[in-house]
Amino acid sequence: MEDLEQGIQLTSENETGRSGNVGRWSEGCHDPLVPKHGAAEKAKVLSVTTKPYKPVPCSESEISGIWPSSFSEYCCIYRVPNRLRRVNPDAYTPQMLLIGPLQHSKKAKALELSKTDLRYLDYMNMELHKKKYLNAIANKYGDQIIELFRKIIETSEKFIRESYAESTDWIKSQEFVEMILLDSVFILGFFIQTETTQNIKKKEEILFHEEDILFQEPCLITTILEDLILLENQLPYVLLEELSIHVFANLKTKETFRDIILRAFRLKGEVKEGMNFRHFTDLFRRVRVETLCLTKEQIKSAKDKPPESIKSLHNADKLDSAGVDFVPLEEKNNLSLVITFERGILEIPCFLADDNTERIMRNLMALEQCHYPRT
C-alpha cells in the first residue's frame, strides 16, 4: 500500500467551487487516500518512508487562524465560516472534547477560562483523560506501539497538516506530533472501549475495566460521539485507520476499526462496503448522499451546471391547500434523501429529529459549503 503522502494519484474529477484547480475526490469514486478493506489489505502494515515535515518558521505576528497560501489536494477539514456560525455558535462548538489543530488554541486557554466557563473545565479534564488512554494502551500493548504511532505521525506530518484549510505552521513540529498522537490514540481507545463494554465476550480486551468514568455515565459517551461529528473537530480518517491496524493486530476480533465506528454511530448496515470518507463529518454526509444512487455522469452534470437559486418555496400548508398529497417513503431509512413528486403526490422519507439533529445537519451544511459547493 502506498504511503499516505507520496505516490498518490488523485482523481481528475475535482469538486471545487473555487477558482483554480484544487484537488478533490469525486462522489462515489474510490478515494485513493482511504485504504480498501479486503482481507489482504487488512493484514498489510503501511510502510512510512517520507521525511518528517519541517514547517516554515512563523513571525511573532502570525497566529492561529491564518489561511494557507494555497489549498492542498488533501484539504478536507475546515473552520466553519462566520456567516454560518453566527446563527447558532453552539452547533459547531465541542461540548467536552477538543480534537485537532483547529481546537488547539482552546486547550491552552482552558485553565484560565474554566474559572468563568465550565465547558473549559470539561475540556481540561478531557485532555487529562487522553493521557490516561495513552498510558493504558502503552501498558496493555507495550511502549513500542506508542513509539510506532509517533513515528507514523512524524513521517506523515505534511499530509496531516495539509488536510486542514487553515495554516498550522504556528504549531511547532514536536508539539503538533504530540497533539495528534494524544487525539488519535484517544479516539482509537474510546471506540475500542465502546465496543468492549457493550460486548460481554470481549471483556478481556477492555482498557480500563471499571476505572473509566466515561463509561460509568452513558451521557458522557453520547456527548463525545456528538463532538466527534463536528467539522472543526476532525482528524483525517486514513490516519486513524492506519494506526488502528497496529492495535487491532493485538485484538481477538475479526472486526475492523471501520466496523466499530459504524456501530458506535449507529450506521451499521447503512454504509456500502466500497463507500469511502475523509473524516467522521464526511461519513455522515456520504451515508445520506449514497441513498440517491447518483452515477458519475449525474454528478459531473450537476457540477457543470450554474447554481440555481430558489425563488419561491411553499410550506406544507400551502402545498396541501393546492391539493398535494404527502406520502411517506416505504423504506424505513431515516437517512434517505430520496424525494419524488408525481401526479400530485409528494413522496418523502420520514425525518427523525432528536436532540443532536440540528448539530449534525448544520455541520454537514458547513462541510458542503466549504468542500462541495458545486454539488
State mean pLDDT over 183-196: 91
Q: Which of 16-25, 48-57, 126-135, 250-259 has the highest mean pLDDT?
A: 126-135
Residue 105, class by beta-carbon neighbours within 10 Å (0-12 exposed, 13-18 middle, 19+ buried)? middle
Contact 72, 162 (CB under 8 A): yes
Record the cell numbers describing residue 135, joined without a space: 498510558
State mean pLDDT over 292-316: 78
pLDDT per residue over 55-106, tens digit each?
555 443 345 567 766 677 889 999 999 999 999 999 999 999 999 999 998 8
Mode of pairing for the β-strands spanning 345-348 and 325-328: parallel
Confidence grade of residue 15 (pLDDT, cut at 50, 70, 90): very low
* Total residues belonging to the chain: 375
Gyration radius from the chain CA atoms: 22
Contact 375, 27 (CB under 8 A): yes
Residue 351 pLDDT: 83
Q: Which of 93-107, 200-214, 229-243, 295-309 has the highest mean pLDDT?
A: 229-243
- Measure Cα distances from 106 to 67, 175, 363 in Å: 18, 15, 19
Between 230 and 18, residue with greater pLDDT: 230
C-alpha 104/C-alpha 52 separation (Å) is: 21
Instruction: Report the chain's mean pLDDT, rounded to a whole number.
Output: 80
Question: 347 by DSSP, 3-state: which?
Answer: strand
Residue 78 pLDDT: 96
State mean pLDDT over 182-198: 88
Query: In the sheet where 325-328 sits, what is the strand order?
Result: 325-328, 345-348, 340-342
State mean pLDDT over 137-158: 94
Between 205 and 5, residue with greater pLDDT: 205
> Does residue 360 carry a pLDDT above 80?
yes
Confidence grade of residue 44 (pLDDT, cut at 50, 70, 90): very low
